[in-house]
Amino acid sequence: MSTTTITIEPLGRGIGAQVTGVDRDRMASDDSLPGEVLRALEEHGVLVFRNLRLDPETQVAFCWRLGEVDTSPGHHPVKGIYRVSLDTSKNAAAGYLRGTFHWHIDGCLAEDDAYPQMATMLTARAVAKSGGETEFASTYAAYDDLTDAEKEQFAALRVVHSLEATQRLVTPDPTPEQLAAWRRRPVKEHPLVWRHRSGRRSLVLGSTTDSVVGMEHAAGRALLDKLLRRCTAPERVYRHEWSVGDTVIWDNRGVIHRAAPYDPDSPREMLRTTVLGDEPIQ
Ligand code: OGA
Ligand code: MN
């Protein structure tokens, strides 16, 4: 039962919108809200709820109304919450989170052939004194803005994604042991252009991209780097400056994101809930 609607104001860069008129109670009990959030997410890519002060249980319960939630252990007592912190006392696997400083799609390298996640929600519990903003860019727009010749040229291209590619950005001079460990993780191949069930298309870009199949490594790398630069040009990026209590959700199928660097000793703590994907990259 509900006839209320939410107010959605675009944030001005072709990506992101601020949502007002929602509070924690509506998140918990308004039956029309999940559908409206999904529609707005499809349209705007990123939704910002300032000062929502969502508690972890309500966050997870709301995300279950959007789709299936990832309930793997997340260094947090509430099932469905993953604690994002560089503090190893809060998250023993914090080292891996340095990977979030580079543009990426969540779940592009899943080991078990899982589909990339549909959406990710973050709530700020503590913020960094400086840095730690989260930046978003639309990979739908990145596709739409290609020239017709590029669309034709890229239609059949396939890209190899690897753990090594992401880790080299974090650790440029690996030891042989590190390198061997990275290379034990199987690589994944995805098309450059993702044809979504909705009919939309997006580019599959970000730190996991390694090489273009059938292209010389350096040439493929140059193409991937150029496309990422275009996709993430400053005027195309929404940068969220966090206050404690903000919640942001993004459409992980058509958005790439990264965290601006922050100090490893920073108290910054985000609670993440992941809505699993139901669509392969195809
Ligand atoms: C993530 C992520 C960015 C941030 O949790 O998947 O990329 O700003 N986080 O913490
Ligand atoms: Mn991420």
The string of pLDDT tens digits covering residues 191-221 is 999 999 999 999 999 999 999 999 999 999 9
User: 3-class DSSP state for residue 79?
Assistant: coil
Does the pLDDT of residue 114 top 90, yes or no? no
Residue 30 to residue 8: CA distance in whole angstroms: 17
- Residue 142 is which amino acid? A
Average pLDDT, the chain: 94
User: 3-class DSSP state for residue 96?
Assistant: helix
> Where is average pLDDT lowest: 81-95, 196-210, 239-253?
81-95
Instruction: Give, using CA atoms, the residue closest to atom 10 of ligand 1.
Output: 259
Does the pLDDT of residue 89 top 90, yes or no? no
Q: Which two tokens stand for residue 110?
A: 């899943």
Across 82-164, the runs of DSSP E, i.e. the strands, are 82-84, 119-126, 134-138, 158-161
18 compared with 109, residue with greater pLDDT: 18
Do residues 116 and 247 lie in contact, with contact meaning Cβ atoms separated by under 8 Å?
no
HEC letters along 258-282: EECCCCCCCCCEEEEEEECCCCCCC
Distance in Å, CA 104 to ligand 2 centroid: 6
Residue-wise pLDDT tens digits, 158-190: 999 999 999 999 999 999 999 999 999 999 999
pLDDT for res 226? 98
Q: Which two tokens stand for residue 164?
A: 């090594």
Tokens 């030891």, residue located: 175
- pTM for the model: 0.95
How far are the Cα atoms of 37, 49, 86, 125, 249 from residue 55, in angstroms, in the given order? 18, 13, 21, 10, 15
Does the pLDDT of residue 22 top 50, yes or no? yes
Residue-wise pLDDT tens digits, 267-282: 999 999 999 998 999 9
Do residues 46 and 138 lie in contact, with contact meaning Cβ atoms separated by under 8 Å?
no
Q: Is the CB of 100 under 6 A from ligand 1?
A: yes
* Atom of ligand 1 at shortest range from CA of 132: 8
Does the pLDDT of residue 119 top 60, yes or no? yes
Do residues 88 and 94 lie in contact, with contact meaning Cβ atoms separated by under 8 Å?
yes
* Atom of ligand 1 at shortest range from CA of 257: 7
Distance in Å, CA 53 to ligand 1 centroid: 18
Distance in Å, CA 122 to ligand 2 centroid: 10
Does the pLDDT of residue 1 top 50, yes or no? no
* Ion ligand 2: residues, CB < 5 A: 106
* Atom of ligand 1 at shortest range from CA of 100: 7
Does the pLDDT of residue 4 top 70, yes or no? no
What per-residue string of b and e applies to 218-257 under the rule 16 or more CB within 10 Å gives b? eebbebbeebbebbbeeebbbebebeeebbbbbbbbbbbb
Across 24-115, the runs of DSSP E, i.e. the strands, are 46-49, 82-84
Q: Is the CB of 120 under 6 A from ligand 1?
A: yes
Ligand 1, pocket-test mutation among 72, 121, 122, most atoms within 8 A of CB: 122
